[in-house]
Amino acid sequence: MANPDSYQLVKQLEEVQTSIDQLLNAPYGQQGAMVISDQRVYNGDWYCVVALTDNTELDATGTIVNWGLNGVLGMPLANDIPLIAGVPMYGDFTRIQLVAAACTVIAYNK
């Protein structure tokens, strides 16, 4: 039986962080990354994007990745791509645009 004195009545800081805070503190977040949270077009050289918010989508016309239209590098996506928060999407991203300004992704530099 556990010692009742070992129970904590107050949560520690790491127990009250939001899921976004936890994702930003993940070990792979120290490789150099960019947080994108608006609808502007961003050009760069990224190998992975992770949605930090639910209902995040990559805009088909503003995003270029090597698995774009018919898998041709340099072509936009055929359809908007919904992302699941916290799940990494790997690819050769050269341009990123979000569908809505309420979305947030973190893009990892090569």
List pLDDT tens digits, range 12-66.
666 666 666 666 665 554 567 889 999 999 999 999 999 999 999 999 888 888 8
Q: What is the torsional sign of CA 79, 34, 56, 26?
A: positive
Looking at per-residue confidence, does 18 or 86 come out higher? 86
Q: What is the torsional sign of CA 66, 69, 70, 72?
A: negative
Domain spans of the chain, in order of start: 33-109
Give the model's pLDDT for residue 58: 93
